[in-house]
Amino acid sequence: MYGTIAVAVLLMTGSGLLLRMHLGAARGAAARAMDERERTFLEQQRRRRVWSSVVIGLIGAALLGSPWFQHPAGLRFWCYWLALLAGVGWITLLAAGDALNTRRHYRAQLHDELRQTVRLQAEILGRLRHRHNGDASADIDLPRNSA
């Protein structure tokens, strides 16, 4: 019983610390200049993580009632444990959604940066060709794209 209480207190404390961290990060992000896509991503990420932290705290609080629900005696026992299981499942879904959305966001960001790099390389090559009357390799050794 004391172990359950200790785990419950740890979950609730951890939940509070996570909430404080997420809300502090949101205030820091609000002060930065960023484009709309980045702002939307960070807002959705913050929302998922705050929800996860709240559910962790609720599970911790619910665990305090577990000593009264140790023996399968009726519908209240099953409802209690199914609610805890549903909370854990909800946290898992939020974490999976967060991971997938983060991966998608950073892939799109990488794609944009690669596109910009190719555009800048083409612009530099064009300027070098213009400066050397069409012979870009006159004074410099340009690396060839192996793609």
Q: What are 92-129's pLDDT values in tens digits?
A: 999 999 999 999 999 999 999 999 999 999 999 888 88
Between 102 and 138, the higher pLDDT residue = 102
Predicted confidence at residue 54, as pLDDT, reads: 92
**What pLDDT, on the 0 to 100 scale, is given for residue 106?**
93
How far apart (Å, rounded) are the C-alpha atoms in residues 45 and 99?
9
CB contact set of 33 (below 8 Å; sequence gap of 6+): none
pLDDT band at 146 (very low <50, low <70, confident <90, very high): low
pLDDT at position 130 is 79
> How many whole angstroms separate alpha carbon 8 and alpha carbon 64?
6
Q: Which stretch of DSSP H or E encloses residue 31?
A: helix 2-31
Does the reported pTM lie above 0.75?
Answer: no
Is residue 139 predicted with pLDDT exceeding 80?
no
**CA–CA gap between residue 5 and residue 12 (Å, rounded):** 11
pLDDT digits (tens, 9 = 90+) for 20-76: 888 887 777 767 777 888 888 888 888 898 999 999 999 998 888 776 766 677 787
Considering only CA atoms, which of 99, 114, 108 is closest in space to residue 35?
Answer: 108
Place of tokens 């000593």: 67
